[in-house]
Amino acid sequence: MKTSKTLLRRVEKGKINIQQTLAYTKEQGYIFKEPKTRNSIRTVTLSQSVIEQLKRYKTMKIRQKLRAGDSWEGGSRFLLFSSDMGKQMDPKSITRWWNKRLKKYELPVITFHELRHTSATLLINQGVHMKTISARLGHSKIGTTMDLYGHALESADEKAAEHFDNLFKNKEIK
């Protein structure tokens, strides 16, 4: 199983670097390694509200590290998903954490990975250029993104037709 791993050191600059994946092997346990494609190594700009949340999260993690003292297992890195002792979380733990939050806030049930799809679909429906979305997702080819999100493109196309129609409302053709 593989999950994206990000370091929190660049949050202040409004960007997050995705440069490694966390993989599990029977032989070595959890290891950090290069992503499967060079396009998977990327920098993603964050919204201001996400930046603020991550700053609060990093402050919380620093406090946890100070309380843990010599018992801290996270080294000098702050992982986005880690235990109270700084160690990487098992992907199953992330799933359990996510499902509890969905239930607590009475949100529709989707998998944690489906957040990626939801994000892409929302961006498409807001008219964000497909190349930008493809880069944010780490796809090596824009065609991959278009193949995966073709259903959302149809919806965006319908909205485009509505926008086009609005250009001609209340205009008389003489």
CB-based contact 115:99 (threshold 8 Å)? no
Axis crossing angle, helix 130-137 with helix 114-125, rounded to the nearest 10? 160
Per-10-residue mean pLDDT of the chain, 174 residues long, equals: 45 78 86 85 91 91 93 84 87 90 94 91 90 92 90 78 80 64
- Supply the pLDDT for residue 5: 45
pLDDT of residue 140: 87
Which residues have C-beta within 8 Å of that of residue 136, sequence separation ≥ 6? 42, 44, 119, 120, 123
Query: For the whole model, what pTM was predicted?
Result: 0.70
Q: How far apart are CA 43 and CA 19, in angstroms?
A: 8
Q: Say if CB 13 and CB 40 are below 8 A apart.
A: no
